[in-house]
């Protein structure tokens, strides 16, 4: 009899446990349905058409269009991110018109749109709020993916969160909606996903510049190893594009091949990348230079330049070309360089790349940024293998640091390595903290 009672008691406990779980499930499901009702009670029957969406660093960006909007009727637009209940944030957007299509872009800056690091767990809806001057009420549009780009999977730096941007379907009053949503859940970071990638320039058969037996490749690797150590001490997960174990096998022509520096960087899905180099020049040139992506907010680059200047005696570069502010540079292709690429393409029998005056000239910045930075090395030029991430909609925010000029700054670069690396580390940590 005791065994029967124990058995019955166990059954009761199991039933209670299952009941509690089902109760929680149905409560949450019912709550989600209420959120859906709130959202779908005010949106238009047609969604805004997303033509491009991507992450760059920690920033999520959209370009979309709403057909049938007359320029004369347009008054204002905003992007709204909402969980349908407690959270709602409004973002300014850029707008222009192509015929009767309203084109909406999230920001002037590819690294300063929707900050995925600041959001908490939950499900979020993207909406365009549109005000026309012939209507007193706002119109709300969900965002539908009409591009060729698929879901985005993003892992936060500090909170062990996973953010997924993907499509969801919903039917209301016999109307089918297909829209992009953002869902953030708790998830440990996979082993192959990193926060920061450090690129030690050159290596293997490419020593870079050499003075008195000091090679650019060895200098940058030494800096990279030290920066990795300092960042890891702060809890940052770091990937090196090359390290002491494989640097001798690197080949310059295999930059985009398996194991090449660009491929290793892109595979890491890091948010930030620091690419380390040393300049050559003549004895009139000196100082460090930080090359930054175009179409980006340059606050990080400016803070980096300030910290390096304060912690070392190397000082800002005395080069004026491409300079934005002290130590900060943006180098895009010139028209002459674009014309040269076109001539080479014609000469070698392949279709010319789509290079514009807004395309970064430095491949370390351009090719890890995917569509955000107009990456273009797709294998048509047979001198290089294809960057299989050139068309990616998940880009790494990259800065190339020219540590100084090897003919004039070598002693400082070698002797002030710890101070230099600490300045870079402090700037990265400050940026990560600022995001939260």
Q: Is residue 28 part of a domain?
A: no
177 and 232 in a single domain? The answer is: no
Residue corresponding to tokens 């409004």: 90
Burial-class residue 146 by CB neighbours within 10 Å (0-12, 13-18, 19+): middle
Listed residue (280, 264, 276, 260) closest to 204, CA to CA: 260
- Does the residue 36 lie in any domain? no
Strand partners, 163: 154, 184
Mean pLDDT for the stretch of residues 231-242:
97
Can you tell me the distance from the alpha carbon of 224 to that of 199, in angstroms, rounded to the nearest whole number?
Answer: 7
125 and 86 both lie in a single domain: yes
Percent of the chain, pLDDT > 70? 91
Domain with 320 in it: what CATH number? 3.40.630.40
User: In terms of domains, do 248 and 223 share one?
Assistant: yes
pTM of the model: 0.90
Whether residue 71 sits in one domain with residue 108: yes
Residue 15 lies in a domain: no
State the average pLDDT over residues 94-119: 96
Q: Is residue 171 part of a domain?
A: yes
Mean pLDDT value of segment 336-353: 96
Q: What's the whole-number mean pLDDT along residues 411-417?
A: 98
How many Cβ atoms are within 10 Å of 404's Cβ, its own excluded? 29
Considering the domain architecture, whether residues 342 and 226 belong to the same structural domain is answered as yes
Q: With 90 as the cut, is the pLDDT of residue 426 above it?
A: yes
User: Cβ distance 288 to 402 under 8 Å?
Assistant: yes
SS3 call for 65: strand
Q: For position 397, what pLDDT does the model report?
A: 98
**Average pLDDT of 253-263?**
90
User: What backbone torsions phi and psi does residue 48 show, to the nearest 5 degrees?
Assistant: -70, 140
User: Is 189 or 137 the better-scoring residue by pLDDT?
Assistant: 189
When pLDDT is cut at 50, 70 and 90, the band that residue 253 belongs to is: confident
Co-location of 214 and 353 in the same domain:
yes
pLDDT in tens, 51-91: 999 999 999 999 999 999 999 999 999 999 999 888 999 99
The verdict on 57 and 100 lying in the same domain is yes
Is residue 308 assigned to a domain?
A: yes
Report how many domains make up the chain: 2
Same domain, 138 and 248: no
Please compute the mean of the pLDDT values over residues 8-31 and round it to a whole number: 58
Alpha-carbon distances of 223 from 10, 113, 230, 291, 294, rounded to whole Å = 62, 32, 11, 17, 25
Could you tell me which residues come within 8 angstroms of residue 386 by beta carbon, excluding any fewer than 6 positions away? 256, 377, 378, 379
What is the tens place of the pLDDT at every residue in 317-332? Answer: 999 999 999 999 999 9
In a domain, residue 374? The reply is: yes
DSSP 373-412: GT----SSSTTS---TTTT-SEE-EEEEEEEEETTTSHHH
Residue 318 domain boundaries: 196-434
Strand partners, 365: none
Name the domain boundary from 162, 186, 210. 186
Domain-ending residue, one of 186, 212, 232: 186
Instruction: Please report the pLDDT score of residue 28 as a whole number.
Output: 46
The pLDDT confidence band at residue 233, using thresholds 50, 70 and 90, is very high
In this structure, are residues 371 and 404 in contact, taking their beta carbons and an 8 Å threshold? no
Beta bridge partners of 161: 186
Question: Where residue 181 sits, what CATH number does that domain have?
Answer: 2.60.40
Residue partners of 335: CB distance under 8 A and separation at least 6: 357
Are both 309 and 227 inside the same structural domain?
yes
Region 210-220: mean pLDDT is 94
- 176 and 215 inside one domain: no
Same-domain pairing of 285 and 257: yes
Answer yes or no: is pLDDT of 416 > 90.
Answer: yes
Q: pLDDT tens, 20-58?
A: 565 555 544 454 445 555 577 788 989 999 999 999 999
201: which 2 tokens?
């320039």
Burial of 282: CB neighbours in 10 Å, binned 0-12, 13-18, 19+: exposed
CB 163 within 8 A of CB 180: no
What is the spatial distance between Cα 291 and Cα 278, in angstroms, rounded to a whole number?
Answer: 12
Structure confidence at residue 8 as a pLDDT band (50, 70, 90): low
Last residue of a domain, one of 121, 155, 186: 186
Q: Give the Cβ contact number of residue 170 at 10 Å.
A: 15
- Closest Cα partner for 303 from 156, 158, 425, 221? 425
Average pLDDT, the chain: 91
Regarding whether 253 and 167 lie in a shared domain, the answer is no
For residue 104, tell me if it sits in a domain. yes
Q: What is the pLDDT of residue 32?
A: 45
């Amino acid at each position: 009899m005791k065994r029967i009672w124990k058995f019955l008691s166990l059954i009761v406990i199991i039933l209670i446990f299952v009941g509690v779980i089902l109760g929680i499930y149905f409560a949450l499901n019912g709550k989600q349905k209420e959120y859906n009702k709130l959202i779908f009670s005010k949106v238009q029957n047609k969604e805004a058409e997303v033509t491009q969406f991507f992450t760059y660093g920690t920033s999520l960006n959209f370009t979309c269009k709403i057909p049938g909007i007359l320029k004369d009727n347009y008054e204002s637009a905003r992007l709204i991110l909402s969980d349908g209940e407690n959270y709602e944030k409004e973002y300014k957007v850029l707008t222009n018109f192509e015929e009767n299509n309203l084109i909406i872009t999230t920001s002037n800056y590819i690294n300063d749109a929707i900050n995925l690091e600041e959001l908490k767990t939950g499900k979020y809806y993207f909406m365009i709020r549109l005000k026309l001057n012939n209507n007193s009420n706002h119109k709300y549009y969900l965002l539908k993916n009409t591009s060729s780009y698929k879901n985005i999977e993003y892992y936060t730096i500090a909170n062990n969160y996973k953010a997924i941007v993907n499509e969801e379907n919903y039917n209301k009053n016999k109307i089918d909606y297909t829209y992009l949503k953002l869902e953030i859940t708790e998830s440990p970071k996979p082993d192959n996903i990193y926060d920061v990638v450090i690129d030690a320039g050159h290596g293997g058969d490419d020593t870079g510049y050499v003075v008195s037996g000091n090679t650019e490749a060895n200098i940058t690797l030494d800096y990279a190893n030290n920066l990795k150590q300092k960042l890891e001490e702060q809890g940052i997960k770091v990937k090196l594009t090359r390290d002491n174990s494989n640097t001798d096998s690197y080949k310059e022509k295999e930059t985009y091949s398996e194991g090449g520096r660009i491929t290793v960087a892109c595979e890491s899905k890091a948010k930030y990348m620091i690419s380390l180099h040393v300049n050559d020049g003549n004895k009139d040139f000196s100082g460090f230079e930080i090359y930054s992506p175009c179409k980006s907010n340059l606050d990080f680059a400016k803070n980096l330049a300030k910290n390096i200047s304060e912690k070392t005696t190397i000082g800002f570069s005395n080069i004026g070309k491409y300079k934005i502010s002290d130590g900060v540079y943006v180098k895009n292709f010139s028209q002459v360089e674009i014309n040269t690429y076109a001539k080479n393409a014609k000469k070698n029998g392949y279709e010319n790349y789509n290079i514009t005056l807004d395309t970064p000239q430095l491949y370390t910045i351009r090719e890890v940024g995917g569509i955000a930075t107009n990456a273009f090395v797709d294998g048509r030029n047979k001198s290089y293998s294809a960057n299989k991430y050139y068309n990616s909609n998940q880009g790494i925010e990259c800065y190339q640091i020219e540590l100084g000029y090897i003919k004039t700054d070598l002693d400082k670069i070698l002797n002030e390595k710890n101070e230099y690396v600490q300045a870079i580390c402090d700037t990265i940590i400050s940026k990560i903290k600022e995001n939260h």
